[in-house]
Structure 1
Amino acid sequence: MSFEDYFANSTELLSETTITEQKSRPVNIHGILWPILFTVLIIVANFLSLVAFCIEKRLRTYNNYFIINLTILDFITGLFLIPVVVHTHIGYYPFSQDICKVTSAIQSGILNASNLAVVVICADRHRATYDPINHFMSRSKRMAVIRNLIPWTVSGVFWFLYITIPEFIIDFDNGRHCIRWYTLRTLPGIIPFISLFYLPFTIIAVLYFRIAAKIQATLGGRSVEKQFVLKDANNGKITAELPHDDMTSAVSTATINVDLSSDNLDQGLEMKNGNAANSRKKTTMKRETATEMRKATRTLLFIVIAFVVSWLPQSIISLIYSIEPVLVVPGLPRPARLFFGWMTYLNSLLNPISYAVSQPLFRSTIFNMFLCRRK
């Protein structure tokens, strides 16, 4: 059996058996049951997420528009797994090569757009962390939709140019397993996983590290400010700590010089409280609330973890195979190759679980849907 039958990429990995082998052995019920169950879970989980966003208006916030976009991409990914399950079961690609050339680009584009959507979420959180006022002033649902179109456009154009057009131009023979042209060459075989995982992972890692560092620095700065408050009070000054609604914004302080031993103390306290109230109104209008920021950052953390856990093993294996196939094919059993190939789609199942874990309103909405209960 040729090496492309053993190992082409994440999709072809799922059906490496020849037609003769498939017909000569009994049907493996458990082998087909798990892919079907996995695919159904992805479709159902993301469908329920979309329904939750439709019936609960409070979920349709600016930040959750990015989550809705990711949910749509994951739902489509689940639908595209249906022919993959058929491919796995019968042992060969069931459609024509022309359909293979087109659907291969669409499927890769959807997967790539899903990963780039995580990059867009990270970039938006990064700006909200480092430039909270301008971010809040410029954000709108229309702007969220425009930013969400970026992964769709970039991924669609790239993969049609990289798969569909070259294969039609050279009239590439996709074979019975819908093999893609770049799997037969070393460098072209590495580029797809750079686009699918390594490039998004690098950008996400840098952005999230900066977000975490900024939040940590802000939390450390708060304890320092508290020490200055006590110190200034002993020196005859009252330092009013103005409220802030942003986890990542520095603590603003206003110092009021008053005589602690006179009646001016009461007046100074009134000034402090008045300034604090005014500041609360202004900051609330100009930036996200602390609750909204915490919720968005927590959701992003779960999404990033799901992305890395799902894609890292298969990306490493594919990179090694592209350089030297012998290091992978003889030493890695077929069940292991199938497992890691399917694991890349685990991301589409973990994402809706992340929303439920990180957002109580989303979780309660899903719960009420199961109970057929409406507020």
Structure 2
Amino acid sequence: MTSLCHNIINISCVKNSWSNGVRISLYSLMILIILTTLVGNLIVIISISHFKQLHTPTNWLIHSMAIVDFMLGCLVMPYSMVRSVEHCWHYGEVFCKIHTSIDIMLSSASIFHLSFISIDRYYAVCDPLRYKVKIKRSVIFMMIFVSWSVPALFAFGMIFLELNFKGSEEMYYKHIHCKGSCSLFFSKTSGVLAFMTSFYIPASVMVCIYYRIYFIAKGHARLIDDTSQFHISLEETNGISRRRERKAAKTLGIVMGVFLICWCPFFVCTVMDPFLDYTIPPALNDTLIWFGYLNSTFNPMVYAFFYPWFRRALKMILLGKIFQKDSSRLKLFLDSNP
């Protein structure tokens, strides 16, 4: 017997026909993803907020991005989990719009943060002498403001003004919409606009910047190797600094790569779906959305693997040392740069 999401048969969406075993497995997996996302990003937020040594320009951007990822796990993933497993939306049309807007906003905010982080790393690695002049605290907070405000205006404006339906209203209401659904729908025009704004343009800027950082850092490494035999003490100091900056750039490059791998399939399918007459199965879209959400889960793992300060901060948090007097002034690394 077919199960429906709503009691009005003619307009109701159809529930999935999965067994209880499959549902329990999916719920367990998604709850694990949500909890890992929340705990990992909360540790990043607490670490950077608490320890004064971590109050650097790059870390404030990472801190803001961790808040984005934490909010995604807190405000978006739980409702998406129920929708994905049950294939029904039980929370009303108004909350559907709010949920979809927050989802788009936070997903877009992640790549905006990563774009600004790439700019920050460019000046740190390629123009270190003028880094503190160009990347001041006021500049960082302006980057953070733009990373939150532009995606918020874009997402809520797109959904609440129903610009995403523009040009395809008849197709949506006659062939796709049903009572008890909360699916993300784009027309051809709005789909291309969302793809370009939220993904393609900032991602392209990121890739170009990191490509340039990679070759400049390589040149620095060669220069240090060639001259170190004549200026051992000075070049050792410079070499350590350069290696630290290259490591930071490499780590943040990996964070960017994880983002692209996680979100690229979803954005490509989203922009292609209107041109394929909306033939991409909803189950595939749901899968790709969760694959994108995994980006927010992986980011703290990247920090834990590459950054010793993160592992030390984690240990202090777990042992409760952050509650000790003057714990915020504890040194997590020897130099002034993580």
TM-score between both structures, scaled by the size of structure 2: 0.77
What CA deviation, in whole Å up to 9, does each residue of 1:222-257 have, x standing for no partner? 445569x6xxxxxxxxx899659667xxxxxxxxxx
**Size of the alignment, in residue pairs?**
301
| Preserved CA contact (<8 Å) 2:104 2:155 | yes
What CA deviation, in whole Å up to 9, does each residue of 1:97-133 have, x standing for no partner? 2232233222201110111100000011112233322
In the alignment, the residues of structure 2 paired with residue 166 and residue 318 of structure 1 have an alpha-carbon distance, to the nearest angstrom, of 17
In the alignment, the residues of structure 2 paired with residue 49 and residue 311 of structure 1 have an alpha-carbon distance, to the nearest angstrom, of 22
**Residues 1:96 and 2:92 are matched in the alignment:** yes
Task: Show the 5 A alignment for 1:192-231.
Answer: 192-225=194-227
> Residues 225 and 51 (structure 1 numbering): CA distance in 2 closer, same or farther, change over 3 Å?
closer
In the alignment, the residues of structure 1 paired with residue 40 and residue 182 of structure 2 have an alpha-carbon distance, to the nearest angstrom, of 28
* 1:344 aligns with one of 276, 285, 292: 292
Question: 1:139 offset after TM fit, Å?
Answer: 3.4
* 1:166 aligns with one of 159, 162, 168: 162
In the alignment, the residues of structure 2 paired with residue 168 and residue 305 of structure 1 have an alpha-carbon distance, to the nearest angstrom, of 28
In the alignment, the residues of structure 1 paired with residue 290 and residue 56 of structure 2 have an alpha-carbon distance, to the nearest angstrom, of 32
Name the residue aligned to 1:21. Answer: 15
In the alignment, the residues of structure 2 paired with residue 34 and residue 142 of structure 1 have an alpha-carbon distance, to the nearest angstrom, of 41
In the alignment, the residues of structure 1 paired with residue 153 and residue 41 of structure 2 have an alpha-carbon distance, to the nearest angstrom, of 25
Gaps of 5+ in 1: 1-17, 230-238, 248-287
Question: 1:179 offset after TM fit, Å?
Answer: 3.4
**Residues 1:366 and 2:295 are matched in the alignment:** no
Task: Kindly provide the amino acid, as one letter, of the partner of residue 34 in structure 2.
Answer: T
What CA deviation, in whole Å up to 9, does each residue of 1:6-47 have, x standing for no partner? xxxxxxxxxxxx75434x664321122212221121112111
* 1:67 aligns with one of 44, 62, 74: 62
Task: Kindly provide the amino acid, as one letter, of the partner of residue 33 in structure 1.
Answer: S
| Preserved CA contact (<8 Å) 1:104 1:163 | yes
In the alignment, the residues of structure 1 paired with residue 272 and residue 265 of structure 2 have an alpha-carbon distance, to the nearest angstrom, of 11
In the alignment, the residues of structure 1 paired with residue 127 and residue 137 of structure 2 have an alpha-carbon distance, to the nearest angstrom, of 19
**Residues 1:322 and 2:274 are matched in the alignment:** yes
In the alignment, the residues of structure 2 paired with residue 168 and residue 122 of structure 1 have an alpha-carbon distance, to the nearest angstrom, of 30
Gaps of 5+ in 2: 1-11, 328-338
Please, what is the CA RMSD of the aligned residues? 3.2
What CA deviation, in whole Å up to 9, does each residue of 1:267-308 have, x standing for no partner? xxxxxxxxxxxxxxxxxxxxx944652453133122112112
* 1:179 aligns with one of 178, 183, 206: 183
What CA deviation, in whole Å up to 9, does each residue of 1:63-94 have, x standing for no partner? 21111011011001111111111222433222
* Range 41-50 or range 135-144, more displaced: 135-144
Question: 1:315 offset after TM fit, Å?
Answer: 2.8
| Preserved CA contact (<8 Å) 1:65 1:141 | no
Matched residue SS, 2:320: coil
Name the residue aligned to 1:279. Answer: none
Report sequence identity in percent: 22
* 1:357 aligns with one of 286, 299, 305: 305
Question: 1:159 offset after TM fit, Å?
Answer: 1.8
In the alignment, the residues of structure 1 paired with residue 73 and residue 194 of structure 2 have an alpha-carbon distance, to the nearest angstrom, of 20
Task: Kindly provide the amino acid, as one letter, of the partner of residue 148 in structure 1.
Answer: I
**Residues 1:141 and 2:145 are matched in the alignment:** no
Name the residue aligned to 2:81. Answer: 85
* Range 67-76 or range 122-131, more displaced: 122-131
Name the residue aligned to 2:330. Answer: none
> Residues 246 and 164 (structure 1 numbering): CA distance in 2 closer, same or farther, change over 3 Å?
farther
> Residues 90 and 223 (structure 1 numbering): CA distance in 2 closer, same or farther, change over 3 Å?
closer
Question: 1:145 offset after TM fit, Å?
Answer: 1.8
